A and B are shown apart, each in its own frame.
Chain A
Amino acid sequence: MTHLGYLLAGWGIALVVLGVYGCGVVRRGRRLAGTVPEGEDRWMTSRGENQGG
């Protein structure tokens, strides 16, 4: 296979960055969910519209 180094670098960097970013978002969510009382995880309710912001 030609250009193997470029292929590994391109695909590798993209998948690692997306994976690290995705894990970071999930970790942020877990940390925040622990501080917000149950029932205020508002994506599961309809009370969020026109609040805050």
Chain B
Amino acid sequence: MADSTTSTGSPGSRILGLTTLLGLAGLLLFAFALTEPDVRLHPTTGEEFGQFDAVRLLYLHVPMAVLTYVAFLTCAVASAGYLLKRGAWWDVTAHASAEVGTVFCGLVLVTGSIWGKPVWNTWWEWGDVRLMTTLVLFLLFTGYLALRRTPAEPQRQARRAAVVALVAVLDIPLINRSVEWWENRTLHQQSTLAELKIEDLTLFTLMLGFVVFGLVFAWLMLHRFRVGWLEQAQADRDMALAIAERHAEMETLDVDAAIGRTGGGK
């Protein structure tokens, strides 16, 4: 186990990590072994219908979608905080939450596509407003991360990124309300919980999914935040070294000039 002085780990983060792993094992047990598939009987024909075992993707996809919102809203709040207070803490938090949120958002798109094939018989539907607005959100924050990698003066870059985050996050209400505002242009149901008639163990497993993926999110945020701090510390140190070297050069030139050794003198 790495010493906390040579890693982003700490006793607290290790406890969180261990709890997360145990939680994931428990979630897999509930999701695959203890819950029943979604099988319903048609009231008149008596035929079986529903999502069958594909419903087990619910415990993965929905918590990650909600945590995507949490990550990007955190990014927006931290970005606003940075613009108001100019503190490094806000900027590092915004960058960390944007990166973790983009990973979650990408996984939401992929797992949603995989879930859509058996349930909707399609991998992707370009006309589905919720899918498209989620894709737009992913692309906006991918652009945000690309902006953070462009060479620029750090404070200017942080300001630009904060403005982009505040604009990008406006897509979240569109995603959330799209199934109501454009109900004829989406394959998503208005309320997953109501549509699936979730109750008892299925509901418990979904809630467990929220808790466990929330722990995954917290662990990733903690470590990514600390990486951001270290990047800032390294950048500050590099800047201080460059300034010190420049001062030393200037002092050498001043001394040379004082003793008449410049311009090919004796």
Residues in chain A within 8 A of chain B (CB atoms):
1-4, 6-7, 9-11, 13-15, 17-18, 21-22, 25-26, 28-30, 32-38, 40-44, 48-53
Contact = CB atoms under 8 A, between A and B. Distances in A.
Chain B binding site: helix, strand, loop or mixed by DSSP? helix
Contacts of A53: 82, 86-88, 90-92, 154-155, 158, 232
A50 B87 contact: yes
Chain A binding site: helix, strand, loop or mixed by DSSP? helix
Contacts of B53: 1-4, 7
Nearest to A20: B103
Contacts of A52: 88, 154, 232, 235-236
Contacts of B85: 50
B237 A37 contact: yes
Interface of B: 2, 4-10, 24, 28, 31-32, 37, 52-54, 56-57, 60-61, 64, 82, 85-92, 103, 106-107, 110-111, 114-115, 117-118, 154-155, 158, 216, 219-220, 223-227, 229-237
A48 B88 contact: yes
A34 to B, nearest CB: 6
A4 B37 CA distance: 12
Contacts of A40: 233, 237
A6 B227 CA distance: 35
B89 A34 contact: no
